[in-house]
Amino acid sequence: MTCRDTLQCIHEPFGDAFYYGPERLSSRYENDEKGRVDSGFTESTFKTILDRIEREGDEGKRLFIKDIIHYLFPPNGAPPSIAPSLDRKERGIGTSSKAHANGVSNGITNGNTNGTINGATHGAPYPYATDAEPGNPTVIPSEILDQFHFTFLIRHPRSSIPSYYRCTVPPLDKLTGFYNFMASEAGYDELRRMFDYLRSIGQVGPGIATQSINGAETNGHATTNEQTAANGTAITNGTATTNGNTSKIDICVVDADDLLDNPKGIIEAYCKSVGIPYSPKMLNWDSEEDQQQAKDAFEKWHGFHEDAMNSCALKPRMHPKTREEEDNEWREKFGEKGARVIRETVDANVEDYEYLKQFALKV
């Protein structure tokens, strides 16, 4: 957001469709129509969000979108199918004969239906009456995903889960409107599946940003001609080739702890990976203009970004506590039940975090 001359930033747009719109995947607001209406996003579909992104791209700046990947996935590992508003097979160029006025099919009336997935009732307009795309774990067609340069920000569950839990209990819940903690919103499983999918189709990798191949620093691109990556992706002259597709986008994973330990080094390496000129001003947002822009961007997600909005720079992290110290801290803040739920959720997501961590930027 400090690079307004060259970058147009969009903050978490896909949550509008995930939580509130006629194609919503989450059941969080299923019995809270007022909450959906008050959000102002009851008409948001995945297509309207992508249309907005396209419009903002018309300004000529490079778009930078920060979002949470599980917004593109049916929760709890449910099988995906393409969002009705993006379903080319049914829609063609115009509107699907199966679609209602709100862009949703499958017998949805007023944006509401009760589907059954694996025998369990899912109280949102999912499942859709659309086809799945082979291998694609999201509700977005691969031809659209291919238009994005994906990078990944990860954070250890011992930090992210209690931080998120705090937003779902008093006093913050009155600001956020999230009155219960849902472990399915942790998002690590979805992030790992998205990461593996993009690698499998050659959209990222196989080179890893700032890591070397055969001992040679490559900034993510292989320099050998006949090397084969572990996932079977051939590398030719530094370009990944999978199923006829080529990609020069390296695997770029940023760990939040690394970022806070070494802000300048990590941001500079990140910029190199994604092709953005580095500037020291990226590390500080203490001006009135910077603060106002952040406030405007974060406004729709009340309560979730208070710490970020009250910050003006990246600061070193607190060093990790022992497991016992963590449990005691959570118990003191959230009670016995809350501490137990947090610990269970943290432990359930550590494996996925550690898997992604092995690909993290190194400086």
Range from 56-65, 205-214, 349-358 that averages highest in pLDDT: 349-358
Query: CB of 98 within 8 A of CB of 52?
Result: no
Segment holding 50, helix H or strand E: helix 46-57
Question: What is the sign, positive or negative, of the torsion defined by CA atoms of 3, 278, 159, 16?
Answer: positive
SS3 of residue 75 by DSSP: helix
DSSP per residue, 242-260: ETTEEE---B-EEEHHHHH
Of the pLDDT bands very low, low, confident and very high (cuts 50, 70, 90), residue 306 is confident
Quote the CA–CA distance of 138 and 144 in Å, as a whole number. 11
What mean pLDDT is predicted for residues 102-114? Answer: 33
pLDDT in tens, 145-165: 999 999 999 999 999 999 999
pLDDT value, residue 225: 30
Given a cut of 60, whether residue 94 has pLDDT beyond it is no
Closest to 303 measured CA to CA, from 181, 184, 178: 178
pLDDT in tens, 226-277: 233 333 333 223 333 334 444 569 999 999 999 999 999 999 999 999 999 9
pLDDT in tens, 288-301: 888 888 888 787 77
Closest to 235 measured CA to CA, from 253, 215, 213: 213
Quote the CA–CA distance of 357 and 152 in Å, as a whole number. 10
